[in-house]
A and B are shown apart, each in its own frame.
Chain A
């Protein structure tokens, strides 16, 4: 008795399903291009396009940050805990940049295997806590504990 209404219902569902499938398939096809950054392991495997700018993402190896005195030149290692790439950069680093922090660098791979960055972005994780909680987590050796943003690391980086 409500065939008209039911037909419209099925039509709407069909349209939404078709569009969802089409978008899903296109996104799968473009999967590689949607990759915002490559990890050091992918870089070592030769995945990023050669001679082109790409983004490298990973964690700053603790204690690897070296600054050229009197200039904005900075060098640090980026790791995914399997491979490590040395990054050189000249410029101002974002506030969140520190030892152990996730970063994303845009640039090219130099011939000596180093990554020459034109831009360095810090990636924030989804954890929010007051400093005291972070300290006590780190003191307990909690596996998900954040790398302590100790006072020692701060001034050296900024």
Chain B
């Protein structure tokens, strides 16, 4: 089992594996997002209160979910990198940040656009909104901290600690709507028992969540490949690969 683990963590092995994976992840994610978006914007009925404005959830919810989940992924990868001294794990953590920050930003913007007509305000300093903004700043802080170091090993160590410390914010984002009175509505699909959304509105949302998640994995693979190559460009496998690649047929 451990040989498998270490083999996967070996950069050249990962580089070869991920090459075949990216087109599948990307293709499947785009199909799912197309189906989910069509289902959400065209097939799903309008909401009894919000009318067509509720359709923002088909972008907002997957983005917000990924904004939080990518942070957890980043923290776990950073933790593995620190504890087991695995360089690939640090490369994964570093690659997560930009993608996570983008989804978090998308969730903030779509939420604000929806909030103006529905709540009557773009922004409120409410527990859910504020903790989610903190999540966005944690991503920015992580990226800024990394870029402040010239030495890659030091950047890995310092940013990993920030990623781990910041992970306590994720449960606060998740439970803020239950712990405190908030303007933001409570969870809809993760409620115990019946989700409080009808099936014809729910399925496009679930399809889009799956699509967005696969899209994240595709982006992550692409970024980690670039990150690994940059870190190891002096290693023999990378030099051989680059020489072969120039002649065509990278694999």
Closest A residue by C-beta to B197: A128
The contact sample of 12 A-B pairs, CB cut-off 8 A, is A12-B82, A12-B164, A15-B164, A16-B167, A37-B181, A94-B118, A121-B124, A123-B119, A124-B49, A129-B198, A130-B45, A131-B46
- B161 sits at the interface (CB 8 A): yes
Per the bound structure, the CA–CA distance linking A119 and B116 in Å amounts to: 13
Number of interface residues of A (CB under 8 A): 41
Given A126-B187, A128-B201, 17 further pairs, Cβ under 8 A:
A5-B83, A15-B164, A19-B165, A20-B168, A35-B180, A36-B127, A93-B120, A96-B50, A121-B119, A123-B183, A124-B49, A125-B185, A126-B191, A128-B47, A130-B48, A134-B48, A149-B49
Per the bound structure, the CA–CA distance linking A120 and B118 in Å amounts to: 11
Query: Nearest 4 pairs between A and B by C-beta?
Result: A94-B120, A130-B45, A134-B48, A128-B197
Which residues in B have their C-beta under 8 angstroms from that of A128? 47, 54, 57, 188, 196-198, 201
- B53 sits at the interface (CB 8 A): yes
Contact yes or no, B165 A16, CB < 8 A: yes
Contact yes or no, A119 B120, CB < 8 A: yes
Contacts of B130-186 to chain A: CB distance below 8 A: 161, 164-165, 167-168, 172, 180-183, 185-186
Contact yes or no, B47 A126, CB < 8 A: no
Which residues in A have their C-beta under 8 angstroms from that of B188? 126-128
Residues of B within 8 A of A (CB): 45-50, 53-54, 57, 79, 82-84, 117-121, 124, 126-127, 161, 164-165, 167-168, 172, 180-183, 185-188, 191, 196-198, 200-201
Contact yes or no, A122 B48, CB < 8 A: no
Which residues in A have their C-beta under 8 angstroms from that of B185? 123-126
Contact yes or no, A121 B165, CB < 8 A: no
Contact yes or no, B48 A124, CB < 8 A: no
Chief secondary structure at chain A's binding surface: mixed
Per the bound structure, the CA–CA distance linking A37 and B180 in Å amounts to: 9
- A34 sits at the interface (CB 8 A): yes
Scoring B57, B120, B124, B200 by chain A CB atoms within 10 A of each residue's CB, the highest score goes to B120
Closest A residue by C-beta to B125: A36
Which residues in A have their C-beta under 8 angstroms from that of B165? 15-16, 19
Which residues in A have their C-beta under 8 angstroms from that of B196? 126-128
Per the bound structure, the CA–CA distance linking A130 and B82 in Å amounts to: 50
Which residues in B have their C-beta under 8 angstroms from that of A15? 161, 164-165
Least Cβ distance of A51 to chain B in Å?
A: 21
Least Cβ distance of B170 to chain A in Å?
A: 11
- A146 sits at the interface (CB 8 A): yes
- A110 sits at the interface (CB 8 A): no
- A52 sits at the interface (CB 8 A): no
Closest B residue by C-beta to A8: B83
Contact yes or no, B83 A126, CB < 8 A: no
Per the bound structure, the CA–CA distance linking A139 and B188 in Å amounts to: 23
Which residues in A have their C-beta under 8 angstroms from that of B82? 8, 12
Least Cβ distance of B99 to chain A in Å?
A: 23
